Amino acid sequence: MSKHKIVFLGPPGSGKGTQAELLAEKLGIPAISTGEMLRAAVDEGSDLGDRVKGVMERGELVSDEMMAEVVKDRLAKRDAQQGFLLDGYPRTAPQADTLEGILEDREGDLDHVVYLEVPEDELVTRMMSRGRDDDTEEAVRERLRVYRELTEPLVEHYRAEGVLRTVDGHRTIEEVEVAILLAVASEAQDA
Ligand code: AMP
């Protein structure tokens, strides 16, 4: 099987996590969720966990430097050598640069950046209903603000690189799953 290097991009509550798991399983590559990794670190009470706990509870972003370490270590593991699916990274322009640097040291660029579009009022509803510790109403609002300010500009960045695959995420899980499979099966499906 060819190597797949995929990034999932989209606002919090867009269904990235769910869809990333489904696609990664289909392709036989690891779904790497930085949010899940950080939540696990918090639950374990590791050094990293202690340092990021407050930031996450407020809906802010963990520093680019700390995230660079987390992602470099994870992508260096054996299971990520035959491809990977990143869910929740990169989230800022410097993080996109870091990822490009990591990929330069391996061969080739990203194959697809799957961008899940969902209307804003639907996002708030979805986030408030999943009941996670870091999903208080205030944190949810802050995460959307941070997304718009720091992460959304990456859409244009990846569009310019020709790897953006825009998918309408305001549908059932099954419908979105099919749309994503079609998008990554063709070379350029940017709607
Ligand atoms: P997520 O599950 O992807 O929504 O991530 C949950 C929280 O983890 C975010 O609100 C951030 O505080 C933190 N986080 C996850 N990924 C990143 C990242 N790439 N950069 C900075 N913070 C992150």
The pTM (predicted TM-score) of the whole model is 0.93
**Per-position DSSP letters for 76-139, written without gaps between them:** TSGGGTTEEEEES---SHHHHHHHHHHHHHSSS--SEEEEEE--HHHHHHHHHHS--TT--HHH
Q: Which pLDDT does position 168 carry in this prediction?
A: 96
Burial class (CB in 10 A: 0-12, 13-18, 19+), 27: buried
Q: Is the CB of 14 under 6 A from ligand 1?
A: no
Q: Which pLDDT does position 2 carry in this prediction?
A: 55
Burial class (CB in 10 A: 0-12, 13-18, 19+), 116: buried
Q: Is the CB of 34 under 6 A from ligand 1?
A: yes
Would you give per-residue pLDDT tens digits along the chain (191 residues)? 457 999 999 999 999 999 999 999 999 999 999 999 999 999 999 999 999 999 999 999 999 999 999 999 999 999 999 899 999 999 999 999 999 999 998 877 899 999 999 998 899 888 888 877 778 888 888 999 999 999 999 999 999 999 999 999 999 999 999 999 999 987 544 54
Tokens representing residue 119 in the block: 């209307």
Q: Is the CB of 62 under 6 A from ligand 1?
A: yes
Q: Is the CB of 38 under 6 A from ligand 1?
A: yes
Place of tokens 């009022």: 121
Quick: pLDDT tens for 8-47: 999 999 999 999 999 999 999 999 999 999 999 999 999 9
Atom of ligand 1 nearest to the CA of 36: 2
Residue bearing the CA closest to ligand 1, atom 11? 61
Tokens representing residue 69 in the block: 């370490």
